Chain A
């Protein structure tokens, strides 16, 4: 009897739930899915706004085969992956150290957190401009500092060297986003039950053992979440590189979102630019899926 009465209620509640979800779903469809489908559709055409006499012709996967053989695109992709792996790895290590220190602080906790977060609060373009000024030319602070450490080395134009131009880019990114990483990890650290640590200490475990066998495993979900955010952010990097080097010298610091921007909005090659954007989207999306998979077994184990 009870079952019979509950089922229609359940159905009604499910219906209501869907009804209440409708605006959200509609909004998602319009704001996220619509543009995505439109971009994928556009990527199947040869469409150059500058050359209207060529028209807009359906070429199937033509833009994708062009991208596959486009050396500049492959190079930009490699730059983006290199940048992401380097910066996220450094940020993870530094962020973890910073989070452990903030967690261990007894006094001035609030003040310390505010101070640590300052670089993150700065708009990226402003941060990039500051770093650009520091590395701008042979008389810039960075060059003078290097000269002080290694005498006779001040004649380096950091931003004009194909390898050296990466130094300010990576430094600026690490400086700016390590605080964010630290904050996410700090939240994870504070969710760990202190009594576990105390018990291990009573059993005679060293600080390193406690960190390896208690803190790190329990911090894993927080680390994965932080990695998702940072990796996806780093893959989309644009403003920092745009301001610091503009992709130069030559194209040695050009990242994939910059190349897509150039193709789409400067050269107005809508079809090709859309195809590049779709490729970037697919890469980011599959990475996110991978991370979410990493998160799941942890949840089940609990």
Chain B
């Protein structure tokens, strides 16, 4: 009290300052700025090309400025951030780059818009990518870039890729005995998402499936038990080295890139890196789809999709941006910049992609045609977590394959049941 009378100047100055600050804040932070926000991978070559394309889109549509919001490149971290934003009903970002396994989760939560109102033209997209982005009959995200599991094989040691797993094992044994390689087939066998992708490819090759068409759990079928038993036997026989049980993508790539392994199961990114100058196997490898064994050859589907935030204030503009980014011209340009596979099959027929992709476009196309989505369900991550545990236990001899799959199936049913999703996919 007393001090305010004796030192007025000292107090009025901060008061004025506060008032001004408040006024500035009311003007600046009051209504949200009218911008369209895109969020996704913005690192390195990917970031450069997406920024260039978005700037071009903004000059074509001068009404609304477009902002690029960086998100973590790690899938888990980005997922967590998205869930925080969307769960809090934030109207931004407007356009979200999604991993293929997130679409049903966000769709079921009501966090992203069904796109049917914009009458999207889905004819020129790989069917598997459209199927993966549908939830309860409606399309929730547009496929953008495709990732597929591929079999890398050594062209200097083999005359062609194996069509069956038995052929693959024969090649491995003869090359191992000749000493040309020290390892046969390497894949991602650590307990993480990659293991489920590998299992899905073996499973389909043996004629099995994780969920059936009605969304019911089918992973304890005899076909599935045969597939998992075969995987475990491959390790016991030395066709697949035991070390893979702790390996993720990069360790398997090193094994193949250094010339140690005869076969590698990996995503397309590995091809770009193994084409570089210092790679031992440079121009001594090719890609094919994984072999089969009674079922059909399959490639686990990954990749990027674009979706619209359900609370977006600029849904129409957001859709225009998605249409623009997924248009053939932009996809071709992007393929040349990053080597990523476009989601439109028509582009592979023309010569436009000839030297854009790290592998011949024909080979890429043949593999993508065999792509299958992982189970399309909002609780995929939880299902995958349980599967990872039991698959890994079976591969490390802690559970018999039939036992492991029976236990996993029980857990999967419990998760679907808790979520109220048992058999409610359609």
Contact = CB atoms under 8 A, between A and B. Distances in A.
Nearest to A252: B398
Interface in B153-193: 190-192
Nearest to B182: A139
Interface in A198-252: 245-252
Contacts of A161: 396
B243 A51 contact: no
B378 interface: yes
Interface in A243-292: 245-252, 262, 265-268
B191 A267 contact: no
B83 A49 contact: yes
Contacts of B390: 250
Contact of B389 (A54, A136, A155, A250): A250
Given A136-B246, A137-B246, A249-B245, A53 B108 contact: yes
Nearest to B382: A267
Contacts of B379: 50-51
Interface string A152-195: 00010101111000000000000000000000000000000000
B400 interface: no
B192 A246 contact: yes
B226 interface: no
Interface string B18-58: 00000000000000000000000000000000000000000
Contacts of B365: none
A266 B382 CA distance: 8
A138 interface: yes
B385 A50 contact: no
A160 B105 CA distance: 32
B392 interface: yes
A267 B385 contact: yes
Contacts of B392: 248-250
A195 to B, nearest CB: 56
A246 B190 contact: yes
A52 interface: yes
B245 A266 contact: no
Interface residues of A, number: 29
Question: Max chain B CB contacts within 10 Å: which of A157, A159, A245, A247?
Answer: A157
Contacts of A265: 80
Given A49-B87, A157-B245, A268-B83, A249 B191 contact: yes
B247 to A, nearest CB: 8
A47 to B, nearest CB: 11
Nearest to A155: B242
A140 to B, nearest CB: 9
Nearest to A267: B382
A49 B419 CA distance: 11
Contact of A137 (B108, B243, B385, B395): B243
Interface in B252-281: none
B420 interface: yes
Contacts of B382: 50, 267
Contact of A157 (B80, B246, B385, B399): B246
Interface string A16-30: 000000000000000
A248 B395 CA distance: 11
B381 interface: yes
A245 B245 CA distance: 10
A190 B393 CA distance: 50
B242 A157 contact: yes
A162 B83 contact: no
A248 B390 CA distance: 11
Contacts of A155: 242
B35 to A, nearest CB: 27
Contacts of A138: 241-243
A249 B396 contact: yes
Given A246-B192, A248-B190, A250-B398, A52 B110 contact: yes
Nearest to A247: B191
Interface of A: 48-54, 136-138, 155, 157, 159-162, 245-252, 262, 265-268
Given A54-B420, A250-B389, A252-B396, 17 more contacts: A48-B419, A49-B87, A50-B378, A50-B382, A51-B378, A53-B108, A53-B109, A138-B242, A245-B246, A246-B191, A246-B192, A249-B245, A250-B390, A250-B396, A266-B76, A266-B381, A266-B385
Interface of B: 76, 80, 83, 87, 105, 108-110, 190-192, 241-243, 245-246, 251, 378-379, 381-382, 385, 389-390, 392-393, 395-396, 398-399, 419-420
24 contacts: A48-B419, A50-B378, A50-B382, A51-B378, A51-B419, A51-B420, A52-B110, A138-B241, A138-B243, A157-B242, A157-B243, A161-B396, A246-B191, A248-B190, A248-B392, A248-B396, A249-B191, A250-B390, A250-B399, A252-B396, A266-B381, A266-B385, A267-B382, A268-B83
The 3 tightest CB contacts between A and B, nearest first, are A250-B393, A137-B243, A249-B396
